[in-house]
């Protein structure tokens, strides 16, 4: 965990260095002027956008843009959730489940709020588990829609690059008697394939990996919330609630148990060290 700040500081310079190396290798092979081909760009981008607009709703496309932005700007906060559920377990021990009404009304995390509503309304943990697992499954399907958009882009971009190449070759074969048109069509044919490969492998696939990690973090947070709520419903001790949620994190992310004094209902005062 102590190496995390250094990892963050090193990540951006490494990305910049590798990007410069790729750019240098491309420019070292051909000129920028040779890379620019409007016809190839029209084929690639119009084909990609047409495919995703037909395949997905406008809402899904907006969600894709928002999730990509969130994957760069937001960090899943396990610490806040674990401490909050620990505090809720203490509150339930002291005051009972019905005391959670104020927490439900103020909670901004929609999954945690829904879980608290179940805790307030249900008495059987097995029924709560079934509902929460179905809720996680539905949220997971929703989270994977933007991932599927990028997956389609990664699949169709090389295909439209190949279409551009074929069109260029057809133009080349139809103008064999005109040298200037032969060179123009050849450039269009080759650059189309390059554009398709770059969009797929340097944009769509890396963003897919980033969204997959973002989704996995959210699913882990939902699972932590579910297990914590179920332990509270089983009237488990606050220490067990904390520890069983805490061990779901990676070893370097695990938290120290808070030194907090509280009184459980119908018990003496406890102080955890």
CA–CA dist 153, 44 (Å, integer): 10
Q: What are 164-220's pLDDT values in tens digits?
A: 888 878 777 776 666 666 666 666 678 888 899 999 998 999 999 999 999 999 999
- Per-residue burial over 224-245, b = 16 or more CB atoms within 10 Å of its CB, e = otherwise: bbbbbbbbbbeebbbeebbbeb
Q: What is the pTM of this model?
A: 0.81
- Helix (H) / strand (E) element for 109: namely none
CA–CA dist 2, 21 (Å, integer): 30
Nearest CA among 149, 167, 156 for reference residue 196: 156
What are the domain boundaries of the chain? Answer: 36-271
Q: How many CA atoms lie within 13 A of 232 on its CB side?
A: 33
Q: What is the pLDDT of residue 184?
A: 61
Tell which wins on pLDDT, 145 or 270.
Answer: 145
189: tokens are 């044919």
Q: How confident is the model at residue 267 (pLDDT cuts 50, 70, 90)?
A: very low
CA–CA dist 253, 247 (Å, integer): 9
């Amino acid at each position: 965990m102590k190496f995390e700040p250094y990892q963050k500081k090193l990540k951006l310079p490494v990305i910049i260095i590798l990007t410069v190396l790729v750019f240098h290798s491309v420019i070292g092979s051909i000129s920028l002027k040779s890379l620019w081909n409007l016809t190839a760009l029209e084929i690639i981008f119009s084909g990609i956008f047409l495919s995703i607009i037909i395949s997905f709703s406008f809402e899904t496309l907006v969600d894709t843009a928002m999730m990509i932005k969130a994957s760069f700007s937001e960090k899943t906060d396990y610490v806040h959730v674990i401490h909050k559920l620990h505090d809720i377990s203490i509150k339930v021990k002291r005051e009972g489940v019905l005391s959670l009404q104020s927490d439900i009304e103020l909670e901004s995390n929609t999954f945690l709020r829904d879980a608290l509503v179940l805790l307030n309304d249900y008495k059987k943990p097995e029924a709560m588990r079934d509902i929460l697992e179905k809720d996680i499954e539905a949220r997971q399907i929703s989270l994977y829609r933007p991932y599927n958009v990028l997956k389609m882009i990664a699949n169709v971009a090389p295909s439209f690059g190949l279409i551009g190449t074929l069109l260029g070759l057809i133009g080349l074969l139809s103008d064999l008697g005109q040298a200037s048109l032969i060179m123009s069509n050849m450039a269009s044919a080759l650059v189309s394939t390059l554009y398709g490969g770059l969009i797929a492998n340097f944009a769509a696939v890396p963003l897919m990996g980033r969204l997959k990690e973002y989704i996995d973090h959210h699913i882990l947070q939902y699972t932590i919330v579910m297990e914590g709520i179920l332990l509270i419903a089983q009237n488990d001790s606050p220490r067990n609630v904390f520890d069983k949620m805490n061990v779901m994190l990676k070893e370097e992310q695990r938290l120290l148990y808070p030194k907090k004094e509280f009184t459980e209902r119908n018990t003496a005062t406890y102080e955890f060290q």
